[in-house]
Chain A
Amino acid sequence: MAEPIRAAGAPGEEPGALRKALSRAEARRQWRAFGLTLPLLVFLLLTLLVPIVALLQRAVENPEVANALPQTIRALDGWNGREAPTAAAYGALVKDLAHLPDSADAGQLARRLNTEVAGARSLVMGAYRALPFEGSDADIQARLLQADPRWGEAPFWQAIAKNGSRWTPDYLLASLDLKRDTQGAIERMPEEQRAFGTILLRTFHISLVVTICCLLLGYPLAWWLASLPERSANVLMILVLVPFWTSILVRVAAWIVLLQSEGLVNSGLMGLGLIHEPLPLLFNRTGVVIAMVHILLPFMILPLYSVMKNVPPTYLRAAVSLGSAPLAAFFRVYVPQTYPGIGAGALLVFILSIGYYVTPALLGGADDQMLSYYIARYTNVEVNWGMACALGAILLGATLILYGVYRRIGKAELSLG
């Protein structure tokens, strides 16, 4: 670094040399800075961007039918989609099934078609197990129909025809309670299958309620902590942090003990004569919100506290001494100075609540489950990863949109930074 500067400083050099040397030095400095951040960038790329891209890809990927049934898809080209297809399609299907390298491929195909039409699993596996078929296409058609009359029904063939391409919008559409009809037009799901729209709204509703409760409970506490001398504030801060370090499951179990109908809270209230029947505090929305607020409260208190620590108490005193009523002074002078803390805390709590899964699963009823519960369900139980990824993508998209709205309303001062 020292060398080019000395060279540039030497007399008799042409005038551009200094600028060149400086820009070289600058470039080297930037590369070094970039080199230092490189590990983090690679880490983020590998742990954040790659999985998100893979998730988005899986949400639209649809290779099973296209891989397994190429001839059938060709045979169904031009089929009207209403009644059973021609014998050629049956023949092509049996040929395709016979060409599958492994029974596992038949299983994948059966699973994929079953997510479209319930019952396709046993239909496909039944035909696969009955292989080999001999004879003309018409013979094959007759034998398939004899083995299982459902082969004569159009929906199974529609599912095959519809999934002939390697990419599908179906998972994403299903996450929004929409589907494609046989002609490819988008329409709403039948009423008894419409679930995810409501569940997405419910997810945001619960998260919003939890965020507001956390703010209402956390703000006074953070204010009090910030006004205490350092030593006692630190001791009390430990009390805030201890539950933060306890396992979520332990805390959930503790809430069950406290809130159940013969639990501490109910028997306490009944002992005081405040209520005569135990309150339903558990396995409903109330229980979910109580436990989530408890678990997420530190995420609200910590940013609030760190911002409040830096608000000089003299401003409030100045406002009061200039004639403002104490309450008005608090809301007009003090609170606006803590907006960054409110913004950061609310954003943290809200984003964390959106992904909540264990707490609602154990403390909530059937209509208190958030979207993550269904993502987990499709991942683990149904093993329909396309659907799980599509729901994940919808949750991600909705969260980003909300964040964008938040940035616009709150401008820069409410942002995390």
Chain B
Amino acid sequence: MKKSLIPCAAAALAACLALPSFAEQQLTIVNFGGANANAQKKAYYEPFEKTGVKVVPVEYNGEQAKIKAMVETKKVTWDVVEVESPDAVRGCDEGLFEKLDYSKLADKADLLPAAVTECGVGVFVWSTVMAYNGDKLKSAPSSWADFFDTKKIPGKRGMRKGARYNLEFALLADGVKPGDVYKVLATKEGADRAFKKLTELKPNIQWWEAGAQAPQFLVAGDVVLSTVYNGRIDAANREGRNLKIYWPGGIYDLDYWVIPKGAPNKELSQKFIAFGLQAANQAVYAQNIAYGPTNSKALAKLDKKVLDDLPTSAANAKEALQFNVSFWADQGEALEKRFAAWATQ
């Protein structure tokens, strides 16, 4: 036993030492998992691997602390990371990400204005919307006020555990125009108003933590209406469900690709991002999950059926609300704490 262990350990050690020489053509790309990761795999990772680079997908849950820890200890193992918009802003401010050189990525004119930022480039547009089960709910909701009206549509409501999005929806339901939501929410009275509206619904809210829970609630009949990420509805419908989206008042936002500061393969990472921003690849992505491309040229490559489900299509975006990144980067921590206090009451 002892004798056979030594050569084994030596072999393992040799394998470890040898690894860095293979790593030159290997790229670690971090995503949020689920249906979205599968779509990225089909549209970006697999075609990119044909150029001779091995893509290693890694899932995380948006914990910026992980990137911070890597950058601070100078042991960065992630090459390209998908982050949500407030984290893209905060991380850039705090020097966690490399500044991007757009001349190596894409023509800025092709990209949506919101997709172009100093450290992160937008990959897709997603939306938090109201959804219901078409098989179970006979009368479709016609406004956000209906979401908060349990007399008109009796039953539980699914909402994301936290303040983000819910405060906006509460103000919409309380009669605030989409264009004024963030102006109102920025004032003390506006925040009070949003929490007051949420309090009305509180006994009927079933909170979800992970994005996959919301469509599951709807399918299981635990809730009649739910806020949900639109791509999750699309994924459920591809599995034969009949979930429907109410688009007006949806809050759309972008997810960004960033390169952590000191990432091992910066050149290659830029090549990958440039590849992912090409219109043809973005079109394949949108065909696999109903998230909108950030390269506006990709829209021309999509047929009407796909376009109808995207948050970026004209009809769906008409009364939508753009997520206000700087508002939440400023007020997020205070409002989330207030939400925790509100939940205890």
In the complex, which of the residues B205, B222, B329, B340 contacts A121, with contact meaning CB atoms closer than 8 Å?
A: B329
In the complex, which of the residues A114, A115, A198, A380 contacts B64, with contact meaning CB atoms closer than 8 Å?
A: A380
Stretch from B32-40, B89-97, B233-241, B246-254 at the A interface: B89-97
- Residues of chain B from 56 to 93 with CB closer than 8 A to chain A in the complex: 61-66, 68, 90, 92-93
Q: List 14 A-B contacts (CB under 8 A).
A: A121-B93, A122-B329, A202-B344, A261-B220, A262-B221, A282-B222, A283-B207, A361-B209, A367-B344, A374-B340, A380-B63, A381-B62, A383-B65, A383-B90
B116 to chain A, nearest CB (A): 16
- Provided the pairs A193-B337, A199-B340, A380-B63 are in contact, do residues A107 and B94 lie with their beta carbons within 8 angstroms? yes
- Provided the pairs A114-B330, A362-B209 are in contact, do residues A383 and B339 lie with their beta carbons within 8 angstroms? no
A107 lies within 8 A of B95 (CB): yes
A261 lies within 8 A of B63 (CB): no
- Provided the pairs A110-B93, A283-B206, A381-B64 are in contact, do residues A192 and B342 lie with their beta carbons within 8 angstroms? yes
Chain A positions 107 through 143: 1 when the CB is less than 8 Å from some CB of chain B, otherwise 0: 1101100110011111001000000000000000000
Distance A121 CA – B210 CA, assembled complex (angstroms):
28
Residue B24 at the chain A interface, CB threshold 8 Å: no
A100 to chain B, nearest CB (A): 11
Residue A399 at the chain B interface, CB threshold 8 Å: no
Distance A193 CA – B337 CA, assembled complex (angstroms):
7
Return chain B residues, CB-CB under 8 Å to A380: 61-66
In the complex, which of the residues B90, B206, B331, B344 contacts A118, with contact meaning CB atoms closer than 8 Å?
A: B331
Distance A369 CA – B209 CA, assembled complex (angstroms):
11
A195 lies within 8 A of B334 (CB): no
Residue A382 at the chain B interface, CB threshold 8 Å: yes
Residue B343 at the chain A interface, CB threshold 8 Å: yes
B95 lies within 8 A of A102 (CB): yes
- Residues of chain B from 20 to 65 with CB closer than 8 A to chain A in the complex: 61-65
Residue B318 at the chain A interface, CB threshold 8 Å: no
Chain A positions 93 through 115: 1 when the CB is less than 8 Å from some CB of chain B, otherwise 0: 00000000011111110110011
Distance A194 CA – B338 CA, assembled complex (angstroms):
8
Return chain A residues, CB-CB under 8 Å to B336: 377, 381-382
Residue A379 at the chain B interface, CB threshold 8 Å: yes
Return chain B residues, CB-CB under 8 Å to A57: none
A382 lies within 8 A of B332 (CB): yes
Return chain B residues, CB-CB under 8 Å to A282: 222
A114 lies within 8 A of B333 (CB): yes
Distance A104 CA – B95 CA, assembled complex (angstroms):
4
| Chain B residue nearest in CB terms to A103 | B95
Residue A313 at the chain B interface, CB threshold 8 Å: no
B330 lies within 8 A of A118 (CB): yes
Residue A165 at the chain B interface, CB threshold 8 Å: no
Chain A positions 161 through 192: 1 when the CB is less than 8 Å from some CB of chain B, otherwise 0: 00000000000000000000000000000011
A382 lies within 8 A of B333 (CB): yes
Distance A260 CA – B220 CA, assembled complex (angstroms):
8
Distance A122 CA – B65 CA, assembled complex (angstroms):
21
Residue A365 at the chain B interface, CB threshold 8 Å: yes
**Could you say which interface size class chain A belongs to?**
35 or more
Return chain A residues, CB-CB under 8 Å to B90: 107, 111, 121, 383
| Chain B residue nearest in CB terms to A174 | B337
| Chain A residue nearest in CB terms to B64 | A383
Distance A377 CA – B95 CA, assembled complex (angstroms):
21
- Residues of chain A from 354 to 390 with CB closer than 8 A to chain B in the complex: 361-362, 365-367, 369, 374, 377, 379-385
| Chain A residue nearest in CB terms to B65 | A380
Distance A382 CA – B337 CA, assembled complex (angstroms):
10
In the complex, which of the residues B66, B207, B339 contacts A365, with contact meaning CB atoms closer than 8 Å?
A: B207
Centre residue among B90, B338, B340 by max chain A CB count within 10 A: B340
Residue B8 at the chain A interface, CB threshold 8 Å: no
Return chain A residues, CB-CB under 8 Å to B205: 365-366
Distance A325 CA – B206 CA, assembled complex (angstroms):
50
A261 lies within 8 A of B330 (CB): no
Distance A144 CA – B149 CA, assembled complex (angstroms):
46
B340 lies within 8 A of A195 (CB): yes
Return chain A residues, CB-CB under 8 Å to B338: 192-193
Residue B313 at the chain A interface, CB threshold 8 Å: no
Residue B266 at the chain A interface, CB threshold 8 Å: no
Residue B326 at the chain A interface, CB threshold 8 Å: yes
Return chain A residues, CB-CB under 8 Å to B331: 118-119
Return chain A residues, CB-CB under 8 Å to B63: 379-381
Residue B341 at the chain A interface, CB threshold 8 Å: yes
A206 to chain B, nearest CB (A): 13
B330 lies within 8 A of A121 (CB): yes
Residue B193 at the chain A interface, CB threshold 8 Å: no
B65 lies within 8 A of A261 (CB): no
Residue B161 at the chain A interface, CB threshold 8 Å: yes
| Chain A residue nearest in CB terms to B331 | A118
| Chain B residue nearest in CB terms to A201 | B344
Chain B positions 3 through 29: 1 when the CB is less than 8 Å from some CB of chain A, otherwise 0: 000000000000000000000000000
B277 to chain A, nearest CB (A): 25
Chain B positions 138 through 166: 1 when the CB is less than 8 Å from some CB of chain A, otherwise 0: 00000000000000000000000100000
- Provided the pairs A262-B221, A380-B65 are in contact, do residues A366 and B333 lie with their beta carbons within 8 angstroms? no
